[in-house]
Structure 1
Amino acid sequence: MRPQRVVDLLAVVALVLLGLSAYLTWSIADPGSGRPVVNFNGYAVTRAPVTLALAGVVAVIVTKLAGTALRRVLAALVALMGVAAIAVALQVRPDAAELGRLRPELSQAVTDRVLLSTGPAPWLALAGGVALLAAGVIALLTAHRWRRPTLRYERDPAATPADQWKAIDAGEDPTI
């Protein structure tokens, strides 16, 4: 499989995993005393994984249109976004006080203690960050072998506007 296809596949996998992490349970808070358990999805806890996934996919798409130097810069940015997604997945663990600000029924004034546990979403965000990091590294290492953007629709820089009008009058397409 060509490196471009591998990078595309990894970017889509990262988008799916990071997007799923926004909708699945990130934290579970049990206030006890017969109160209902409160689930927090990833989007309620942090919006970073979705933002990083969308930015990474856009950067991978732009690499298709870029030259080798810009491709390497974009690949490095994609790798950095993958590192950021991994860091978010490993470090974002809201505490009871922060969850109490999101949901008043979990505040210290209402309950004595809140038991916190982690849902599956951080693991998906971690896997998505690893996929985004891998896409960036592969793109960075193989950018010089990718197909270059086509010049089919670019016009001849030596042709003057008058020459182009003459070609159009003659029934020719001056962009070919």
Structure 2
Amino acid sequence: MTSPTPRARREYGIAVVGLVVGAALLLASAGRVWATGDLTAAGPVSAAPVEVTGADLTGVPSGIGWAGLAGIAALHAARGRFRRLIGALLALGGVHSLIAIVGAVRPEALTAAVDDAASVGAARADGVPDLIVVGPAMAAAGAVLLFLVGVLALVRAPSWPGMGNRYDRDAAPRADHTSTPADLWRSLDAGDDPTLDAPGGDTAPAQPAGRAATGDGTAPAQPTARSADSKEKP
């Protein structure tokens, strides 16, 4: 497999940064105040101010934000057509977030969110709540970033570096170079087990010539020179 080009590495780095920034914007926007309003109730009760956060209006941006962070690991681990699939899902997530954001900032949605914040059932929103654009703008920017990164991954991701390329290189068969003790130690340091590739590695070592083992596993005694001399005397 050919190594990734410098252009592919730059694109991969841009995609990772885009996913981190886009996901961070989506997650941060969920905790910001998107609208403020007043709750009024019948009787001599003063209006109570209410703040509505992005999480109160919709949970889509935060969910897509966590998915964007998971997409970083997914792009690094996947390869080929699976990377294109991840890119398509990221792009769809960005579009889905934009649709949810637009729906959440509609006047009727803001009014309903203020009504839901009432602790007393008779309290209702006093007019249309005021929209604070910083929170929705952050969420929209994060959604656009996820969409752009998803489109980039859909087109270019198969050429990016990742875990799959490194594993392919490590999975290539290695030649057995353990002819010397130094080579053996280097092989052990590399994580190889030289005994697995050794021919007949599961059999017992052969006995030296003239030292055949007896039935009880001990070698027979060799005749001494004195016994040979005694046989030659008359």
- In structure 2, relative to structure 1, the CA distance for the partners of 1:97 and 1:43 (3 Å cut) is closer
What TM-score do you get using the length of structure 1 for normalisation?
0.79
Do structure 1's residue 5 and structure 2's residue 16 form an aligned pair?
A: no
Which residue, 49, 61, 64 being the options, matches 2:61?
Answer: 49
Q: Highest CA radius of gyration, 1 or 2?
A: 2
Aligned-pair distance for 1:48? 1.2
| TM-aligned CA deviation for residue 85 of structure 1 | 1.0
Quick one: structure 1 residues 134 and 92, their matched pair in 2 at CA, closer, same or farther if it must change by over 3 Å?
same
Name which of structure 1's ranges 55-64 and 32-41 shifts more when overlaid on structure 2: 32-41
* Residue number in structure 2 paired with 1:117: 130
Question: 1:153, CA displacement in angstroms?
Answer: 4.8
Among 115, 126, 139, the residue aligned to 1:100: 115
Q: CA deviation at 1:87?
A: 0.9
Q: Secondary structure at the match of 2:77?
A: coil
Residue aligning to 1:23: 31
5+ residue gaps, structure 2: 1-6, 174-183, 194-234
- Aligned partner of 2:191 in structure 1 is 173
Aligned to 1:77: 89
Q: Secondary structure at the match of 1:38?
A: strand
**Secondary structure, aligned partner of 1:138:** helix
Q: Secondary structure at the match of 1:114?
A: coil
Separation in structure 2 between the aligned mates of residue 56 and residue 97 of structure 1, nearest angstrom: 29
Pick closer, same or farther for the CA change 1:76–1:34 going to 2, 3 Å. Answer: same
Matched AA of 2:123: V
How far does residue 29 in structure 1 lie from its aligned partner after superposition? 1.3
Q: Which structure is higher in RCO with an 8 Å CA cutoff and minimum separation 6?
A: 1
1:111 Cα offset (Å): 4.5
* Contact persistence 1:79–1:136 (CA under 8 A): yes
Q: Residue 64 of structure 1 aligns to a residue in which SS?
A: helix
Q: CA deviation at 1:98?
A: 4.2
Deviation for aligned residue 1:112: 7.2
Structure 1 residue matching 2:129: 3-state secondary structure: strand
SS of 2:123's equivalent?
coil
Determine if contact 1:60/1:78 at 8 Å carries over to the other structure.
no
What amino acid sits opposite 1:41 in the alignment?
T
Cα offset, 1:34, TM superposition: 4.0
Equivalent of residue 14 in structure 1, options 14, 18, 22: 22
- Note the residue ranges of structure 1 that are not aligned, 5 or more in a row: 157-166
Over the aligned positions, Cα root-mean-square deviation in angstroms equals 2.7
